[in-house]
Structure formats: structure tokens, C-alpha cells
Amino acid sequence: MSEFPLVVENLSFKYRTRPELAIENISFELKQGELLLIAGSSGCGKTTLARCINGLIPRSYRGERSGKVLLHGKEVSELKIAEMAQVVGTLLQDPERQIVASNVYNEIAFGPENLGLPRTEIEARVEQAIKRLKIEYLRERETFNLSGGEKQKVALAGLLSMNPSILLLDEPLASLDPASAHEALEIFRSLADEGKTVILVEHRVEDAIETKPDRLLYMEAGQIKYLGPITSLPPMIDHTQVKLPAQWVVQRVKEQKLPIAAPHSHKVEERGEPLVVFEDVSFRYDEENPLILEHVNLKIHRGDLIAVLGPNGAGKSTLVKHAIGLLKPTSGRVLVQGEDTRKMSVAQIARVLGYVFQSPTHMLFAPTVREELEFGPKNLGFEKGPMDKAVTESLATVNLNGLAEYPPLGLSFGQQKRTTIAAVLAMQSRIMVMDEPTAGQDFANYTRFMDALCSASNDSRSILAANFESTLFITHDIDLAVTYANRVLLFGDKHVVADGKPEDVLKDIDQLLKYRVRPSSLLRLNLELIAKTKRFLPAESLAEFSS
């Protein structure tokens, strides 16, 4: 039996469908009780490395593999699937792909049942997982009606109930509100302290370092660029590629005398007639269930860049689904350009509001990315020339050039998410509505499309700036609100708790914490410097004002 739960030796892999190596000469080992953070931009090889560790390569993904992956001394490719499941437990980026049962309790029990464990053992494991994640309130719920963050917690509970010795967590924070993410990170650290070997693959490096990882493995272009402790910013790490603490970025900019980025200028808010109005809207799915929305009043104007913050399960997605007509109020009404949504078809509303779902699997269906992007414009009656132009510009805006002929469901989660954003961009609706736009995105990619989305200029790279009159995005990433929004809605207790400029809403730390929004280093630094800056700025721009 090897003293190391995991040993990776000179590992390389090339997918059968691609000419280049996905990973090259990867070597490291993990001790029992060690927590390893793996970071890097999209396409750097993180997911491929994870697939080699959990046995999906070579079982589900074909290609050329060389080198070794040893789990407790045994080569992963020689283990049976049942053996693998008890050694490596994997939490996927998109909980939609992992949840199979209709009921929360049955979902958590699914894995132990498949191991053939005695009923008493299964029940004990399920109860332990539920208690550990503090999700007793979800026990009898149907999985279909859970929010994205709640589904992620249930998927994690199902993983813990299997009791594997190695935990492989792929973007586990993507759907969680900040407080839930903090709680999950504390659980990952405690699991490592109890002897589990934990591999945390995460774009949100600033959040992930709260776990005090024993080591950081940073990848670029399929290779390890850094492997070691992370107490400060290693020089090999590109601060434009992964999200790092604001103070580290400011220090990097000042030490290397990098050019200080000019903050993008917001679109000018234009009052006048609102585009969307919520009038005293309340909603419940049926008489047996409690209200999810209660007396919501809200107006969306031309020029608004709105960030919607709030805890998992608060009703944020339910709110925006009313704006696009997927749901109709139980009482009150929603007006889109002055017309009641009850009298409008979803297709009519789509000309005004384009909606990006939280889970890309709820949207994607076409054989290729190009056909996916053409579907909306065709149904809205676009001519071929304008449609082709919209598709081409949308692909460029979200960095999907070269992938137009790929099948969307064969792409990574982050690429799928960007495909759904591009599909809505191509429709050129008047209002862009996005549910967790940065989930599964590396910092560089989401900065690119958010810059385009929120730019005040009508430059050639931004069909967004030229065509969208207003943008609304639901997010658990408070830094999106700090950097890009000109208006913040804090949603909780079934209604809008606060509505105003980011500088006004986000300075009330006690109120944020009450609704499970944890201040980030960027928010705290902005609040410290607001007397000098007069507005919120991205970290690179704060270097000019920081002493």
C-alpha cells in the first residue's frame, strides 16, 4: 500500500478529437490529509487532470495517455468502477449533471445504496451528511424545485455519504452564495484535517485560499507552472488570469510598475419610461406551498446595469423568470414595455428580454455552437446577413472563436455557459438578463465579456454596448456588483430589501451579512478608499489611490 493516496507521474494526455496535448508531463503526489488547490485559466488542463484522477480518462474520454496515476498504489485504469467510487468522490461543476433522484433524501442515499450497504448504515451516513451541511430544511424537498446553490449542497451531501478517501471538487463554489461558499470551504478544510485527501479545483482563488490549502498547483497550457505554498502571490501566477485578493493585485501592479487600467465608464442611466415594471408582485407555485415572492415592486430603466444579490433559495431566479414571462404572478402584475406579461407570449417578450439560464443544460440542444446561436435570430425573423454578423460578433465577445462547429454539449461547462450567453447576445434583445453569468468562468474570460457588456462605448468588439439598453445579472460574486453595476438589488425575505447605487447598498456590511453576502477584499478596499476614488473601481485601478 502506497504511503501516498495519490501519485501522478509524468502524466500526459491528448484527446482523440484534438491535435494538441491537453496536459503534459504532470507529476506530483498528495499525502493523506492534504488539501491541494488547483487553479488556472480555462483550457489550461485542470479538468483533464481531474478526469485522469477519477478514472473518466480512459473510461469515458478517449485519447492517448502516458505516465501513471496511482490511487493508494494502484493504477487508476486497472480499478473497477465500484472500487473507484469508494476511493475518489467527484463533485461536478454543474449539479444538474449529478442529481438523479427526485427527492433530496433519496439523492443523498443513492450512492450508499448502490454500494449495497445495510439500511442502518445508509441512514446513518445520510443523516451525518445532512447535519454536516446544515441542510435539514431540504430533507423532504423535491430536487427539481431547488435553487442551483441548494442543488450543489445536496450533490456534496451525496458525495460525503459515499465516504471516499479522496475528494475531487470541481468548481464547488460556482452556485453557492458567499456565506454558503465560506461554510463549504470550512467543511473541506475540516475533512482534510480529519484525514481525507482533498483536491479543490477552483477559479475563485481568493475564496479558495480561505481553506488554507497546503499547496497550490497552478497550470498554464497543460503544464504545471507553480507547485508550492500560497502565502503571497507567486511571481509565476498571472493576476489577469485568476481571481486573487485585491491587495495582492494592487501590490503586483505597484511593484512591477504596470500600467494602471483606466476604469470603464458606465452607461448613463436614462430615466423616462421604464422598460420593465413589477407592480406589487407575489408568487407561489401552488396553494400548498408558501409565497416565494411577496409584494415586489421594481422598475428597470434604460441604462441600468443591475446586480441582484442574495442568499441561495431567496427567489432571485424566480424574480427574473417573471420578467421574461416564464412565470406569471399569483397576484400583482409585470409589465414589459407597458404590456402585461399575462397577455404576451414568451416569443414576444424575447424580443425585449434575452435570458441566460443558470444551468447551460437547460438551454443547449443544437448539433453545433453555430446552429445554437442561429436558432433565436431565425425565430425572430432575422435576415441572413444581419444574423451571420450577430453570430460572428457574439462568438468573439465571449471568446468562442474556433468552436462554432463543435457540439455544445461536448464543450466544458465554462464554454457551455459562454455559448448560452452568446446565443442570447445574437438575438439582440433590448434587455440582457443573466443568471450567474460567471459560474464556471475563469477571471480572464468573464472580465472580457463583462467589460463588453458594461462598456459605455459602441466599439466594434461590443455588440452588447451597441444593442442592449439595460442589463440585469444575478450573481453570488459580489465583485461583479462592485466592478460593473451602477445599481444593486439585495433580495431576501421574499422581496427587494435594498435598491440603490453600489456605493450606497454595499457599504451596509451588517445588512449584507444578514442576507449571506460576505464582503470581498475588493469591496473592503474600495470602501477604505471611497473618499479618494468617489466610486468603486477594479483592483488594478485602485493601485493609483492605495498608499
pLDDT surpassing 60 at residue 464: no
Looking at residue 4, its pLDDT comes to 93
In a domain, 166, yes or no: yes
Regarding whether 70 and 199 lie in a shared domain, the answer is: yes
Res. 439 pLDDT band, cuts 50 70 90? confident
Does residue 201 share a domain with residue 67? yes
Q: Is the dihedral angle over the CA atoms 361, 364, 365, 367 positive or is it negative?
A: negative
Q: What is the pLDDT of residue 410?
A: 78
**Do 267 and 134 reside in the same domain of the chain?**
no
Q: Please state which of the ranges 98-107, 140-149, 461-470 shows the lowest mean pLDDT.
A: 461-470
> Which CATH number does the domain housing residue 365 bear?
3.40.50.300
Higher pLDDT, 266 or 442: 442
Split at pLDDT 50, 70, 90, the class of 449 is: confident
Nearest to 66 by CA among 39, 122, 27: 27
**3-state class (DSSP) for residue 169:** strand
Q: Do residue 422 and residue 526 come from a single domain?
A: no
**Residue 541 included in any domain:** yes
Cell of 245: 485578493
The number of angstroms, rounded, from the C-alpha of 360 to the middle of its chain's C-alpha atoms is 11
The 10s digit of each residue's pLDDT in 145-191 is: 888 888 989 999 999 999 999 999 988 887 788 888 888 899 999 99
Q: Can you spell out the DSSP letters for 497-534?
A: EEEE-HHHHTT-HHHHHHTT-PPPHHHHHHHHHHHHHS
- The candidate with the shortest Cα–Cα distance to 11, out of 80, 53, 50, 68, is 68
Q: Which of 193, 216, 235 is the last residue of a domain?
A: 235
- What number of other Cβ atoms are within 10 A of residue 142's Cβ? 11
In whole angstroms, what separates CA 435 from the centre of its chain?
9
Torsion of CA 221, 227, 229, 235, to 10 degrees: -50
Whole-Å CA distances, 291 to 56, 312, 330, 498:
42, 16, 9, 20
Q: What per-residue confidence (pLDDT) applies to 458?
A: 45
For residues 346 and 411, membership in a common domain is answered with: no
Residue written as grid cell 466610486: 535
Q: Are residue 126 and residue 19 in the same domain, yes or no?
A: yes
Provide the pLDDT confidence category of residue 10 given band limits of 50, 70 and 90. Answer: very high
> What's the half-sphere exposure (Cβ side, CA atoms, 13 Å) at 64?
8
SS3 category, 135: coil
* Cβ contact 85:163 at 8 Å: no
> Do the domain assignments include residue 473?
no
E strand or H helix at 372 = helix 369-379
Q: pTM of the predicted model, to two decimals?
A: 0.85
What is the distance between the alpha carbons of residues 281 and 331, in angstroms, rounded to a whole number?
6
Residue 324's closest CA among 313, 337, 312?
337
Instruction: List own/partner pairs for 397-401 with CB under 8 A and 24 or more apart.
Output: 397/422, 397/425, 397/448, 397/449, 397/452, 397/461, 397/462, 397/463, 397/464, 398/422, 398/425, 398/445, 398/448, 398/449, 399/445, 399/448, 399/449, 400/369
Query: By the 8 A CB rule, do 89 and 159 touch?
Result: yes
Instruction: Examine the fold and report which residue of 235, 257, 291 is the final residue of a domain before the chain moves on.
Output: 235
- Closest listed residue to residue 423, CA positions, set 458, 395, 451, 448: 395
Domain count, the chain: 3
Range of the domain at 453: 357-428+431-468
Rg of the chain (C-alpha set): 23
Would you say residue 442 has pLDDT above 90? Answer: no
pLDDT of residue 467: 65
DSSP class of residue 272 equals S
Q: Is residue 440 part of a domain?
A: yes
Residues 323 and 374 in one domain: no
Q: What strands, in cross-sheet order, belong to the sheet with 197-201? A: 88-91, 166-170, 197-201, 35-39, 215-220, 223-228
- 202 and 261 fall within a common domain: no
Instruction: Give the residue-averaged pLDDT of 373-388.
Output: 93
What is the pLDDT, as a whole number, of residue 73? 93
Residues 221 and 101 occupy one common structural domain: yes
Residue 93 has pLDDT above 90, yes or no: no
CA distance 527 to 507: 7
Cα separation, 486 vs 412, whole angstroms: 31
- Residue 267 counted as domain residue: yes
Cβ neighbours of residue 339 closer than 8 Å, sequence gap 6 or more: none
- Beta carbons of 59 and 81 less than 8 angstroms apart: yes
Q: What is the pLDDT of residues 487-506, one digit of tens each?
A: 999 999 999 999 999 999 99
State which of 215, 235, 255 marks the end of a domain.
235
Residues 439 and 533 in one domain: no
Whether the CB-CB separation of 23 and 224 falls below 8 Å is answered with no
Reading the block at residue 202, the C-alpha cell is: 477552483
Residue 31 pLDDT: 95
Comparison of pLDDT for 83 and 73, the residue scoring more: 73
- Whose CA is closest to 155, among 135, 137, 140, 178? 135
When pLDDT is cut at 50, 70 and 90, the band that residue 461 belongs to is: very low
Q: How far is CA 96 from CA 16, 65, 108, 257, 408, in A?
A: 27, 29, 14, 45, 16
Please check the confidence at residue 383 and state whether its pLDDT lies above 90: yes
**424 found inside a domain:** yes
pLDDT at 456: 54
Confidence of residue 269 (pLDDT cuts 50, 70, 90): low
What is the enclosing helix (H) or strand (E) of 128? Answer: helix 119-132
Q: Is the pLDDT of residue 250 over 80?
A: yes
Name the nearest CA neighbour of 174 among 492, 436, 512, 419. 436
Express each pLDDT in 184-214 by its tens digit.
899 999 999 999 999 999 888 888 998 899 9
Best CA proximity match to 45, nearest among 200, 222, 224, 241: 222
Which three three-digit cell numbers place residue 516? Answer: 449571506
Average pLDDT over residues 226-241: 86
Within a domain: 396: yes
Same domain, yes or no: 313 and 441: no
Q: What is the SS3 assignment for 21?
A: coil
Each residue's pLDDT tens digit, 310-328: 998 889 999 999 999 999 9
Confidence class of residue 460 from pLDDT cuts 50, 70 and 90?
very low
E strand or H helix that includes residue 81: helix 81-87
Residue 468 contacts residue 506 (beta carbons within 8 Å): no
Rounded Cα–Cα distance for residues 195 and 394 (Å): 47
Give yes or no: residues 212 and 290 share one domain. no
For residue 120, what is the enclosing H or E element? helix 119-132
Tell me the β-bridge partners of 199: 36, 168
**For residue 240, is it within any domain?**
no
